[in-house]
Amino acid sequence: MRIAIPVKDESLTFFGNAGHTPKFAIYDMSGSGMFRSFKLNEVRANPRTDLDHDHDDEDHDCSHSQDDAEHIAQHNKMGVILEDCNYIVVRRACRNTVNAMKSCGVSVIKYGGEDTKSDAILRALAAQFL
C-alpha cells in the first residue's frame, strides 16, 4: 500500500494544504494491525504550474471558481502523479483536489492532529489505512 503526504521539503514537515504543497512524500506501508510499518519511498515535486504565491502559506485560499477548467486541469496533474498511491493525507483540500484524487483512485484521509512530521502522522493514522 502506498500513501502520499504533502510536505514542505525533504525535511518531511507536513504541509496542511494539499493542493498547494511544494512536494509529496510517498511512503510504502507493510504489515497489518499493530505491526504496520512505513518506509519513505521518494519525495515528488507538486506538478502544478499555476502556484505563484509563497509556498510557506499553507492557509492560502484559492480565488478560482470551482468550475474553472484550467484550475481543475492543474489539480488533475496532482492526481496523475499520485495515481500509484492508495491514500493522500490532508489537513485541508479544496473540492478540486478531492475530485482529482478520487478520479485517480486515491482516497483522502483527513488529519487534524498536532504532529508536524510525516512519520508521526502516519503512525497516528495507521488504523485508517485499510
Q: What is the pLDDT of residues 47-72, one digit of tens each?
A: 987 775 454 445 555 555 566 788 78
Q: Is the pLDDT of residue 77 over 80?
A: yes
Considering the domain boundaries, does residue 25 fall inside one? yes
| Range(s) of the domain holding residue 73 | 2-53+67-128
Considering the domain boundaries, does residue 58 fall inside one? no
Considering the domain boundaries, does residue 61 fall inside one? no
Mean pLDDT of 26-38: 91
- List the beta strands (DSSP E) in the chain: 2-7, 23-30, 37-45, 87-90, 107-110
Considering the domain boundaries, does residue 7 fall inside one? yes
Q: Total domain count for the chain? A: 1
pLDDT higher for 112 or 68?
Answer: 112
Instruction: Note if the pTM is more than 0.75.
Output: yes
Which strands form 37-45's sheet, in the order they lie side by side? 37-45, 23-30, 2-7, 87-90, 107-110
Considering the domain boundaries, does residue 108 fall inside one? yes
pLDDT at 66: 60
Considering the domain boundaries, does residue 59 fall inside one? no
Which residues on neighbouring strands pair with residue 76, listed in sequence order? none
Considering the domain boundaries, does residue 11 fall inside one? yes
pLDDT higher for 75 or 6?
Answer: 6
Mean pLDDT of 95-121: 95
Quote the percentage of the chain above a pLDDT of 70. Answer: 88
Q: Is the pLDDT of residue 43 over 90?
A: yes
Query: How far apart (Å, rounded) are the C-alpha atoms in residues 43 and 29?
Result: 15
pLDDT at 60: 52
Q: What is the mean pLDDT of the chain?
A: 89
